[in-house]
Amino acid sequence: MWLKQALLALGVASTSCLTQTSGNGTSPNPDHRGPLWGVSSPPFYPSPWMDGSGGWEEAYRKAQKFVKQLTLLEKVNLTTGVGWQGEECVGNVGAIPRLGFRSLCMHDAPLGVRNVDYVSAFSAGGTVAASWDRQLFRQRGYMMGSEFRDKGIDVQLGPVVGPLGRIPAGGRNWEGFSPDPVLSGVAVAQTVKGIQDAGVIACTKHYIVNEQEHFRQTPEAAGYGYSIKESSSSNLDDVAMHELYLWPFADAVRAGTGAIMCSYQQINNSYGCQNSYTMNYLLKGELGFQGFVMSDWQAQHSGVSSALAGMDMSMPGDTSFLTGVSYWGTNLSVAILNGSIPEWRLDDMATRVMASWYYVGRDKTSIPTNFNSWTRDTFGFRHEYGQTDYGLINQHVDVRDEHGRGIRKQAARSTVLLKNKGVLPLTGNEKFTAVFGHDADDAPWGPNGCPDRGCNKGTLAMGWGSGTAEYPYLISPLTAIQAKLLENDKNIQFVTDNYAYGKIAFAARQASVCIAFVNADSGEGYISVDRNEGDRKDLKLWADGETLIQKVAADCNNTIVVIHSVGPVIVSSFKDNPNVTAILWAGLPGQQSGNSIVDILYGDEIPGGKLPFTMGAKREDYGVDILYEPNNGDEAPQDEFNEGILIDYRYFDKMNIAPDYEFGFGLTYTTFTYSNLQIQHHRVDPYKPTRGRTNPAPSLSGNGTNGTVDPSTAQWPANLTYVLGYIYPYLNSTDLGTAAGGADYGLPNDEYLPPHATDGSSQPKIPAGGAPGGNPALYDVLFTVRATITNDGDVPAEEIAQLYVCLGGPRDAVRVLRGFDRVSIQPKGSAVFEADLTRRDLSNWDTGSQNWVITNFTKTVYVGGSSRSLPLKQVLRF
């Protein structure tokens, strides 16, 4: 009901596949209190215990065997971080010395190993998404995973599908892949498999609807002068949750992701790390997630509640950095001992952690951690906060292998050619080449000069925040172009001061080709760069890139523009300028930036990427924007996702707004003709909702704690070498109230114990569930779609063919992406594009039955080269 209202508010009438309604692009009023204002999340308890299904059987058996031998304190150790800067990695849990089991190491980032030397800086997720290349996704995942493995890391904190990219200005979108759930879903699944093939646990994050930086944490907001008592709440309906935001998480779970990170902000006014509906019901129930949920760093806000709501690991362990106290640790021991949390819940946490560890084979390939993320010094304190345990802490192991070559290739394959008036590729024999823009250059302090890349100096090859890695080197475009042109001893000049207009004009006037590099940066909310508080303040090029391009083009009729950006930027002022002869979007290419763009510019690689998002003419055209100001007094800002599923191209299509460059668009040096659409129908059994009941929660408490253990066995050992600030599982009194160290950290008198939360008996199964990724029948292939693609030109090329479906209902998008493939085709040759349509691909989420349903609306299949170039179409016959 509300959805209809929301659509009416947007001026959208009912539509079907074949007709687009007209709209004027009016965006919803951000201050309007819509139907999602102040909504809540339904409680769901008990927390589902893992059952070892869907390929997890062996890991589950081994994990249970391991957990059975653990004491209460040892299990608590497995679930609780030792505190910020307590150990080598950005997060570690306690060890189990009795069994020689070392402290597990959790470490950033989604594009390479953070805060360490001798690692690679890969292209960002949002950049490689533009390759639409499954093999590349997997290969990149494997390369990253190998580096984490060889540094001695157990869990890589990536990949990212939250943010999905609802809002183009979202600060961390570049860490993820694409605002389209299918492209993101394929990319995340392949990345997870790649990382885990290398023997490292992938942590898919941030769960869920973590779509902006503003107001995600109250202390951070206070730092920007916003006084709010609670983090913002992302409020969304059940359809948008399933059809959009949960979709790629389902793919990650189905691919076997060992960990998931719950997010900072609230969902329907319940914090991401204590929302029983998102963690218990959606993730562990419906999606059958077998791994463990860890908190984002300081995203935990309660002890008992978070445990009962499905969180399995507290990161980094302290309530907030360096407090030395934890919601868990001692308090989790107490909560088990006093019965607030049943021991099966703790057993399940520990089993999930250990099952993931076995699942990726860490029992076979565990390398000791050989670095310390808090310093580059070779010798120092192992415990940075406690300043104890001095010794060799950084072995400076070079784990890069030959990955530099792969990164160069990956970035080139992810470069998107947006415009080309026949000037590309260049030959390298141009008489006079002039390069412009600070984005072409090295940074004055070197590529790692700003901590966590929190500045925009020199060329941009990754955003800022925790999603970064240290560059082993960063090849700037200017360096690489000079090297290329010096092969023929050509003339090359440059002006890298964006504002030196006189010098720019002087160089541009002489040049036979001008290459202007421009950029737009963003990052994580704890760093603000040029008043961009994580999220971008606008979609413009930085350092007045538009004027730079205009000045160059005014004097140079062959101006090539290269954009390094975190996402869409406004290109309207120059895209139709006749002197702008080519435009390339190169994203955030990573360490080989200059070489990758040289490979494209000078013809060693043929451009073939396509946009993983829409480039709109103005920010208003996207229909949604960042909530930049608190809208609820000092209470939690209410971020209403009134647009439902209509983000990015779905919104442009629905409102009939012409983008500058549409989702899925990209040129190469030839054109393609699509023909011969054929649809094969497969007979499959009808969809069966999952029925029956689970087993009761297994009891692994061999040591018989189960609420009956004598607290005297859980006291501080007399001989323990205490590390300052470190989080331990021990009690300092046999009186549980005293031992808990205050009511704030997890005592039941401070928290509400929800009904059924401690019930370990057999539970009804969830109809849309049944296996990791959801009901297995959702992945039945119902149709196979084939089309012939002919390369019209004289050069070999690759085409990224795309399959869209109109689901046909009034609230549906005009079309949604459902398949794609990057196909290599010889000159004048043809190839067959083939894509499967699964039951999930053709279903809508039905809130009433809480399941996926294929509606009776006419469904139409479209095939072509972009979201707006779809020459082939056919109605599906079931």
Ligand X SMILES: *[C@@H]1O[C@H](CO)[C@@H](O)[C@H](O)[C@H]1NC(C)=O
Which residues make up the interface to ligand X (CB under 6 A)? 11, 24, 26, 39, 41, 68-69, 71, 73-74, 77, 82, 94-97, 103, 237-238, 241, 267-268, 277-278, 330, 423, 553-558, 577-579, 581, 699, 701-704, 706, 717, 719, 729, 732-733, 738, 741, 853, 855-856
User: CA geometry: angle at 43 spanning 41 and 46, to 5°?
Assistant: 145
CA atoms of 697 and 343, how far apart (whole Å): 10
24 vs 402 by CB, closer to ligand X: 24
Compute the least distance from the CB of residue 577 to ligand X, in Å: 6
**Closest residue by Cα to residue 757 from 429, 279, 350:** 279
d(CA 566, CA 168): 9
Minimum distance of ligand X from residue 846's CB (angstroms): 8
Question: At its nearest, how many Å lie between ligand X and the CB of residue 719?
Answer: 4
Closer residue to ligand X (CB): 93 or 817: 93
Question: Distance between CA atoms of 454 and 460, rounded to whole angstroms?
Answer: 11
Strands 860-864, 872-875: pairing kind: antiparallel
Q: Are 21 and 654 in contact (CB under 8 A)?
A: yes
Instruction: Using the minimum distance from each CB to ligand X, give the nearer residue, 156 or 268.
Output: 268
Structure tokens at 475: 């090849």
Closest distance to ligand X from the beta carbon of 714 (Å): 9
Distance of alpha carbon 58 from alpha carbon 40, whole angstroms:
39
Residues classed as catalytic: 296
Q: Which two tokens stand for residue 139?
A: 């290969």
Instruction: Give least dist CB 2 to ligand X, A.
Output: 7
Q: Which residue do the tokens 């080449």 mark?
A: 433
Q: Is 495 or 870 the residue whose CB approaches ligand X more closely?
A: 495
Residue type, 760: G
Pick from 137, 161, 216: nearest CA to 524:
216
Beta carbon of residue 823, minimum distance to ligand X (angstroms, whole number): 31
Q: How far is the CB of 476 from ligand X (least distance, A)?
A: 25
**Cα 569 from Cα 504, distance rounded (Å):** 23
Distance CA 334, CA 746 (A): 9
Q: How far is the CB of 373 from ligand X (least distance, A)?
A: 17
User: Helix or strand or coil: residue 758?
Assistant: coil
Q: Which residue's CB is nearer to ligand X, number 442 or number 643?
A: 643
Nearer to ligand X, 232 or 466 (CB): 232
Residue closer to ligand X by CB (options 524, 639) is: 639
Helix, strand, or coil (residue 246)? helix
Residues forming a β-bridge with 559? 514, 580
Q: Are 799 and 787 in contact (CB under 8 A)?
A: no
CB of 34 to ligand X, least distance (A): 11
User: Residue 292 forms beta bridges with which residues?
Assistant: 259
Cβ 460 to ligand X shortest distance, Å: 26
Rg (CA), the chain: 27
Residues in the chain: 878
Find out whether 256 and 773 touch, Cβ atoms under 8 Å.
Answer: no
Whole-angstrom distance, CA of residue 275 vs CA of residue 306: 8
Q: From 832, 836, 834, select the one nearest 789 (Cα to Cα).
A: 832
In angstroms, the CA 568 to CA 835 distance is 28
Nearer to ligand X, 223 or 717 (CB): 717
CB nearer to ligand X: give 452 or 555.
555
- Could you give the strand order of the β-sheet that contains 580-585, starting from the edge strand earlier in sequence? 416-420, 580-585, 559-565, 513-520, 432-436, 491-495
Find the shortest distance in angstroms from Cβ 264 to ligand X. 16
The neighbour count for residue 337, using CB atoms within 10 Å, is 22
Bridge partners (DSSP) listed for residue 106: 91, 155
- Min dist CB 370 to ligand X, Å, is 18
- Of 863, 872, 835, 825, the C-alpha closest to 671 is 825
Task: Rank residues 19 and 732 by Cβ distance to ligand X and give the closer one.
Answer: 732
Q: Select 83 or 176, whichever has its Cβ closest to ligand X.
A: 83
The answer to whether 177 touches 232, Cβ cutoff 8 Å, is no
As a whole number of angstroms, the distance between CA 438 and CA 130 comes to: 24
Q: How far is the CB of 423 from ligand X (least distance, A)?
A: 6
| Three-state SS letters, 289-330 | CCCEEEECCCCCCCCHHHHHCCCCEECCCCCCCCCCCCCCCH
Give the torsion sign (CA, 838, 843, 845, 850): negative
Distances (CA, A) of 451 to 40, 282, 370, 448: 39, 37, 22, 7
DSSP helix/strand/coil, 823: strand
What whole-number distance in Å separates Cα of residue 810 and Cα of residue 538? 32
- Distance, in Å, from the CA atom of 417 to the CA atom of 36, rounded to the nearest integer, reads 40
Residue 191 · residue 141 · CB < 8 Å: yes
Cβ(513)–Cβ(602) under 8 Å? no
What is the rounded distance in angstroms from the CA atom of residue 444 to the CA atom of residue 457? 7
Asked if 459 contacts 442 with a C-beta cutoff of 8 angstroms, the reply is yes
